[in-house]
Amino acid sequence: MRLALEEAAHAPLTGDVPVGAVVLASDGATVLARARNEREATGDPTAHAEVLAIRRAAEAVGKWRLTGCTLVVTLEPCTMCAGAIVLSRLDRVVYGAADEKAGAAGSLWDVVRDRRLNHRPEVVADVLPAPAADLLTRFFRPNDF
């Protein structure tokens, strides 16, 4: 999670919301990919940290199935990212801060564990939520600090 937090901290430099993500190999230690939100930087509405990290991890392993891998992200994934998690066959998603307004891994929706889908990754929530939430609060309310 600390690597994802480092990524998130760089996102505001391009005007992007501070969300960072890391994909770990099946050994749980090897980093396959790192990413941060890049919507503002690239003008791409799908450039969420999770999607970019998943794309980069798939490129690194040379296949789209990321079976055995773990996505670590600072903010609970949205519905788009939850769909990408399911479709990439990640084994687990670990996230920091819950997203009560748009979260799709247990808060508002639970796309990643929907029993109607063919793949349901494990979800580990609330890992270092305070630092992740603090980055977001500072970004959206910079004058409060």
The rounded distance, in Å, linking the Cα atoms of 33 and 35 is: 7
Residue pair 129/103 in contact (Cβ under 8 Å)? The answer is no
The rounded distance, in Å, linking the Cα atoms of 77 and 64 is: 19
**Helices (H), strands (E): how many in the chain?**
5, 5
DSSP 113: G
48 is in an annotated binding site: yes
> Annotated catalytic residue: which of 7, 38, 50, 76?
50
81 is in an annotated binding site: yes
50 is catalytic: yes
Q: How many CB atoms lie within 10 A of CB 21?
A: 31
| Residues that constitute the known binding site for Zn(2+) | 48, 78, 81
Residues contributing to the annotated binding site: 48, 78, 81
Question: Among all residues, which ones are annotated catalytic?
Answer: 50
